């Protein structure tokens, strides 16, 4: 039977919820696309985290790796770099919509690894003998 580690399970569920929740502010299609996009990024991130530093690594090592190797995060940084003048405030208006959405997506990429760490912590707490 396939055993999914607690960090991976929490990371994937949190990514799906964060992506779907953020997309729900726009439309039903965006909710589906956001949820699946964040989930796909979390799958890649979890696979890398299982390899290095390992899903049982300390949180201060695991959280940055899980955030930075998520393919959604570098993509958001790329879109922010395309509209750098919007990001730094030199230009504003509807032309900056992509940059604003990229900033929001990059910020949301920090949340799913925290969900994985919280789920791992809760599972460890429940498994301790009393």
Domain ranges of the chain: 6-122
Q: Which residues contact 36 (CB under 8 A, 6 or more apart)?
A: 19
- Note whether 42 and 70 are within 8 A (CB): yes
* Whether the predicted pLDDT of 2 surpasses 90: no
Question: Which pLDDT value is given to residue 17?
Answer: 97
d(CA 98, CA 86) in angstroms, rounded, equals: 9
Residue for token pair 């990429």: 109
Average pLDDT, the chain: 93
Confidence of residue 1 (pLDDT cuts 50, 70, 90): low
* Whether the predicted pLDDT of 127 surpasses 80: no
Angle at 21 between CA 17 and CA 27, to 5 degrees: 135
Residue for token pair 């925290």: 114
**31-78, pLDDT tens digit by residue?**
999 999 999 999 999 999 999 899 999 999 999 999 999 999 999 999
């Amino acid at each position: 039977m396939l055993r999914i580690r607690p960090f991976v399970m929490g990371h994937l569920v949190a990514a799906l919820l964060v992506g779907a929740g953020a997309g729900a502010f726009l439309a039903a299609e965006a909710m589906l696309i956001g949820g699946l996009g964040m989930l796909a990024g979390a799958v890649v991130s979890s696979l890398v985290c299982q390899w290095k530093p390992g899903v049982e690594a300390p949180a201060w090592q695991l959280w940055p790796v899980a955030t930075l190797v998520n393919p959604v995060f570098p993509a958001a940084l790329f879109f922010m770099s395309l509209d750098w003048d919007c990001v730094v405030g030199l230009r504003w208006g509807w032309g900056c919509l992509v940059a604003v959405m990229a900033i929001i997506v990059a910020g949301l990429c920090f949340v799913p690894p925290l969900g994985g760490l919280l789920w791992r912590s809760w599972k460890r707490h429940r498994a301790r003998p009393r």
